[in-house]
């Protein structure tokens, strides 16, 4: 067990631990009183239909810029002026945070925890997008030893300093921290920082979590 505890699983949050807003359009439309099918942008699930997503993937705009645009757009649909992404997320899914957690994430996190693998989150916008109270209402997050959130550090992935921060918080070399993220630029940044990585596929979450657990000799139950 002591050998396992010298390693950590470091997860991005949105898209990795929770289902993306692209996957929960039906829940969002219901929560906001919009007609089914109103939200047509599908991001990684249908890049051809989402020019704004393609711009983000081409590094023409940032991920935050993408969601700022979507936030204002959806706010206008309900006759409101939304400036903060947290408004969008909380109105769309804030009533029941547990409902948007990936079941594969719960199983993988529990498997890692039970095996003694240390857990951390490295996010660019956990509290910025979800609001400060979200993590208090999600029991799963209590299993994480540390959460490094650029909402407060202001150091965004793929900046090398972001990865260094999680290593410092865990008191582990980055080579002992397996990093999982759904954005390739962030995975590339982690590789450059010396971390083993998994590029999380939001369309195949079980496969991605199985790959992550495989780094520790574990299987997804």
* pLDDT-derived band at 94, boundaries 50, 70, 90: low
How does the average pLDDT of the chain come out, rounded?
93
Residue 72 vs residues 82, 86, 113, 129: alpha-carbon distances, Å:
5, 12, 39, 13
Q: Are 122 and 157 in contact (CB under 8 A)?
A: yes
> Domains (ranges, CATH) in the chain?
4-18+101-214 (3.40.50.1000), 25-97 (no CATH)
Residue 96: the pLDDT is 77
Statement: residue 131 has pLDDT above 90:
no
Read off the pLDDT of residues 169-209 as tens digits, 9 standing for 90 and up.
999 999 999 999 999 999 999 999 999 999 999 999 999 99
Read off the pLDDT of residues 55-73 as tens digits, 9 standing for 90 and up.
999 999 988 899 999 999 9
110-116: long-range contacts (C-beta < 8 A, 24 or more apart)?
A: 110/143, 111/213, 111/218, 111/219, 111/220, 111/221, 112/9, 112/213, 112/216, 112/218, 113/143, 115/4, 115/216, 115/218, 116/1, 116/4, 116/5
Q: Are 158 and 185 in contact (CB under 8 A)?
A: yes
Q: What pTM does this model have?
A: 0.90
Statement: residue 1 has pLDDT above 50:
no
DSSP string, 103-152: HHHHHHHHHHHHTT-EEEEEESSHHHHH-TTTGGG-GGGGG-SEEEEHHH
């Amino acid at each position: 067990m002591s050998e396992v505890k010298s390693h950590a699983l470091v997860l991005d949050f949105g898209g990795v631990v929770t289902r993306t807003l692209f996957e929960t359009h039906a829940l969002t439309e219901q929560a906001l009183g919009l007609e089914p099918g109103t939200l047509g942008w599908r991001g990684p699930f249908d890049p051809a239909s989402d020019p704004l997503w393609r711009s983000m993937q081409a590094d023409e705009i940032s991920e935050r810029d993408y969601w700022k645009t979507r936030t204002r757009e959806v706010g206008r649909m309900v006759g409101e002026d939304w400036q903060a992404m947290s408004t969008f997320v909380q109105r769309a899914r804030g009533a029941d945070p547990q409902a948007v957690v990936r079941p594969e994430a719960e199983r993988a996190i529990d498997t890692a925890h039970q095996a003694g693998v240390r857990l951390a989150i490295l996010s660019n916008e956990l509290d910025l997008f979800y609001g400060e109270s979200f993590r208090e209402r999600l029991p799963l997050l209590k299993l994480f030893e540390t959460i490094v959130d650029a909402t407060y550090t202001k150091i965004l992935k793929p900046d090398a300093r972001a990865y260094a921060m999680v290593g410092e918080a865990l008191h582990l070399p980055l080579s002992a921290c397996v990093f999982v993220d759904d954005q390739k630029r962030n995975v590339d940044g982690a590789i450059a920082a010396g971390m083993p990585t998994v590029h999380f596929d939001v369309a195949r979450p079980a496969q991605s979590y199985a790959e992550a657990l495989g780094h520790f000799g574990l299987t997804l139950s």
